Structure 1
Amino acid sequence: MKSAARLYAVQALFQMESSAQTVQAVTREFETHRFGEEIEGEEMAEGDAELFRKVVAAAVNWQAKIDQATDRALVAKWPIDRIDPVLRAAFRAAGAEFVDLDTPPKVVINEYVDVAKAFFPEGKEAKFVNAVLDHMGHELRPEGW
């Protein structure tokens, strides 16, 4: 399940920011303790670990570029530092896919809107994520539309 790998990537990026852990430490922890868990009746597949590692590594490697694109997609009074840390992690994970992976932009947006719904079931955050990622996708992957 690629969707579960993306959810885990957002959780890992959040954990890294909140605990100042390294990429290696968080990746190892997730692969050791979270992968193989049952999610919605399905066990995490081995291929998901690869996507998870790619997204987390790219988010860290391209964080400055991704954060700048996120800032440009946000209202001036709400820079990325003021955004909820879970949403910030989602923007970074999605930005990683825009910048460093070949995932079609519409798939990236749909997947991370679903991640937002998992964390914020009320729905308003999902609409916010959709709008920001649409803007980011056009900027970071203009040829993909």
Structure 2
Amino acid sequence: MKRRSAREKALQALFQIDMSGADAHEALHHVLGEQPTDSFLEDLLFGTVKNREEIDQEISKHLERWSIDRLAKVDLNILRIGTYELKYSDVPPNVAINEAIEVAKTFGDDKSGPFINGILSKIKGEKSGREELK
């Protein structure tokens, strides 16, 4: 499975978890149907679910005049996946951000891409600043 497809499937599963309260394994099975699973997809989904509280705190720090509860669920879950990739994976930061923007173009509205770019760029900048202090 290509990584873009894995990101899209992870988004669909996370959206399902938010909307129906499905368990992560159940949501994964539902979005895959008969397709075989993928280790990158599993890492994105289960890693995002496992670290969701910390990820949501990170996103909330960078929202201006918004609360996380007001975000569209699609945008929120794209941000969660992007933040997971920035903070917990070896995916290059610019790749994580660009992929999140591309997924937003497919699943979000006209404003989703620039909004997601802005938030993830702030998170990336904060991460870079911390690494320079080491």
| TM, length-normalised to structure 1 | 0.81
Amino acid at match of 2:56: D
Q: 1:132 maps to what in 2?
A: 119
Matched residues in 2 for 1:117 and 1:105: separation? 19
Matched residues in 2 for 1:96 and 1:21: separation? 20
Matched residues in 2 for 1:92 and 1:140: separation? 15
Distance 1:66 1:13, change over 3 A: same
Instruction: State yes or no: 1:51 paired with 2:40.
Output: yes
Show structure 1 runs of 5+ residues with no match. 36-45
Q: Is the CA contact 1:109–1:130 (under 8 Å) kept in the aligned structure 2?
A: yes
Instruction: State yes or no: 1:27 paired with 2:16.
Output: no
Identity of aligned residues (%): 29
Amino acid at match of 2:22: Q
Show structure 2 runs of 5+ residues with no match. none
For the residue of structure 1 that corresponds to 2:38, the secondary structure is helix
Matched residues in 2 for 1:136 and 1:80: separation? 15
Matched residues in 2 for 1:93 and 1:31: separation? 18
Deviations for 1:3-23, whole angstroms, at most 9, x for unmatched residues?
111111111101100000001
Q: Is the CA contact 2:9–2:32 (under 8 Å) kept in the aligned structure 1?
A: no
Matches within 5 A, 1:1-145: 1-33=2-34, 35=35, 49-75=38-64, 77-120=65-108, 122=110, 124-140=111-127, 142-143=130-131
Q: Which runs of 4+ in 1 moved over 6 A?
A: none
How far apart are residue 100 of structure 1 and its match? Answer: 1.9
- Count the aligned residue pairs: 130
| TM, length-normalised to structure 2 | 0.87
Q: Is the CA contact 1:16–1:22 (under 8 Å) kept in the aligned structure 2?
A: yes
Q: Is the CA contact 1:31–1:49 (under 8 Å) kept in the aligned structure 2?
A: no
How far apart are residue 140 of structure 1 and its match? Answer: 4.4
How far apart are residue 30 of structure 1 and its match? Answer: 2.4
For the aligned residue pairs, the C-alpha RMSD in angstroms reads 1.9
